[in-house]
Amino acid sequence: MKKSGKIKQLSLALLSFPIFLTSCEIFKNPQPKLPAKLEVRVFNITNERPALKINGEYYNANNYSFTFKGGDLDLMLDSFFLGHVHIDTTFNVPANSLFTVPVVVEPDFEALGKTNLNLADSVFISFKGDMKGSVGWFSRKVHIDYKGKHYIDLKM
């Protein structure tokens, strides 16, 4: 009986492993869907300096919902390092849908002013990092790498 039980456990483990690998491979990374005119809000999040809030829009191309569990991103505005962002928001994302991730960054506005970037014209926005999500009891970290040209719609 002990040998039979071990064989059943091993068989179950061997059958579960391909299912686990398949579930990871069929999971499509959420795709950034930022509009050409990106709304950026200026507000004060700390007493030291103001912050920028950007609502990043993504598309869940999967046929199932997942739970977004935060992440970390490095943001660039042309060649200027805008800042590192830690996102600690958790929410459910429906299957095949657009969803919004709130991003708050506290850039060094003095250094940004010295770059001579013309924010009235389009600028390259890029971000890299990892976001976390889960489907049922499977959790996964996905790498996000985006570059795009956008107009900044600065709101106070």
Per-residue pLDDT 10s for the chain (156 aa) are 566 666 655 555 545 544 444 444 456 788 888 889 989 888 876 667 788 899 989 999 988 899 999 999 999 999 999 999 999 999 999 999 999 999 999 898 889 888 888 888 889 999 999 999 998 888 889 999 999 999 988 887
Diameter of the chain measured on Cα atoms: 77
Q: Is the pTM of this model over 0.85?
A: no
Over the Cα atoms of the chain, what is R_g? 21
Alpha carbons 86 and 100: distance in angstroms, whole number: 15
Q: Are strands 66-77 and 91-93 parallel, antiparallel or unpaired?
A: antiparallel
Alpha carbons 57 and 140: distance in angstroms, whole number: 20
- Token pair 């050409």 is found at 36
Q: Write the DSSP assignment of 14-39 as a string of letters.
A: HHHHHHHHHHHHH-PPPEE---SEEE
